[in-house]
Amino acid sequence: MGTRRPRFLGPMLAAVALTVSVAACGSGGTSASGPAGSGAPAEKIKLTVALFSDFHYAPLYEEFKKTHPNVEIVERRAQFNDHHTNLITQLTTGAGAADIVAVEGGYVGAFTPSPEKFHNLKDYGLDKRQSEYLDWKWQLGVSNDGSSLMGLGTDVGGLAMCYRPDLFKKAGLPTDRDEVSKLWPTWDQYVETGKKFVAAKVEGAKFTDGPGEHFRAMVEQAPVGYYDDQYNIIAGTNPEVRKAFDMGVRMINEGLSAKLPAFTPPWNTGIAKGSFATMVCPAWKTGTIKDQNPGEGAWDIAAVPGGGGNQGGTHLMLPKQGKHPKEAAELIDLLTSKESQIKLFKEASALPSLPVLYDDPAVAEFVNPYFGNAPIGKIFTDAAKALKPQKVGPKAGDILKAFGDGLQRVEQGKQNPEEAWAQALKDVGRIK
């Protein structure tokens, strides 16, 4: 799921290839039930679940325990980058991995070349779920060689644009979400709207947080991103990537940016205090906004420029080090069920990855009072339906970081745009 998920910041490391042999524990642990016919009570077992934020799973754990009273569930959390690099280390060394791990969509490709490091969910009957899923979401959880179902998807990050009606009013801009959406059907028009906001000189506020998330959104809206169909890195020659970079530079040069990188403490404070008026807003980020307590109605939600898209989303996977894969697979099945995905959408704005739910009134007609009764069900499902998925390669996170760092150097005055672009290409060229 992942309702508080930062952009890819940490290096994937050479260990991502996972070429080091792992002495996997396998499924040789004691069964959760006593020997057949023995009448012995089920053995107490413990499942660890490793996440990178609060996924709001606690009530679902309790539901699981009703049918698995012998199972104790222990959740451990780490910051986004630490979580993923820890998993790389754990798989490389063969020790320390949880029974269930959450892997963000941009990182899944780092692990799918190595199905031998994970339990195959087909062995526990979860391939029966395939028809429920968005096809591209399902395929992200399949090993590169097609032999293994390595993970089940939790949510997808249908894109929108969150905005502050109070700041728009001060700038003389429309505040109604439908009228706001009409301001920017394209990214060029979004920048033009931002120039009007800047001209209004709203005290203490910039038009947007920073260019990094906009760059990512633009690239991920394109038919092809950092990789071609054969998983070759083409970021340096793909004109869509350069177009997105140049748009980020425009935002900087026009004074639109508050220079607040996403998911930093100053950015969190800026959400609460209204330091910027707009932000790229996948479904799960509405949970991030609410966590900063800006106040009910402080933020609203409009359509994203460029026509929909996806950003983020998570899979749940079972490292082979886990000793209780049967019970762990059963827990994954419950956490990703239709009923659970509806609950998590209402509780944490985790947009379901099961398209049948997009027409379910519980999702399609859901409005969020915290965001001015925004019809987030319709807004985010429309965005998800408009998505044309890309190939996501194993180093997508590193590539995004290289270009994001380039934009940050421009913003900090350390390089001009051409210098920053050239260095970003060199950085990408070192990614193997």
Of the candidates 155, 95, 84, which has an alpha carbon nearest to the alpha carbon of residue 311? 155
**Model-level pTM?**
0.80
Confidence band, pLDDT 50/70/90 cuts, at residue 6: very low
Q: Map out the domains of the chain with their CATH numbers.
A: 43-156+313-359 (3.40.190.10), 158-310+368-430 (3.40.190.10)
Confidence band, pLDDT 50/70/90 cuts, at residue 199: very high
Q: What is the mean pLDDT of the chain?
A: 89
Q: Which residues 6+ apart lie within 8 Å of 339 measured at CB?
A: none
- Name the least confident of 194-203, 299-308, 418-427: 299-308
pLDDT of residue 1: 57
Count other Cβ atoms within 10 Å, centred on residue 420. 23
Residue 179 has pLDDT above 60, yes or no: yes
pLDDT digits 0-9 by tens, 319-346: 999 999 999 999 999 999 999 999 999 8
Pick 335 or 108 by higher pLDDT: 335
pLDDT digits 0-9 by tens, 276-307: 999 999 998 998 899 899 999 999 999 999 98
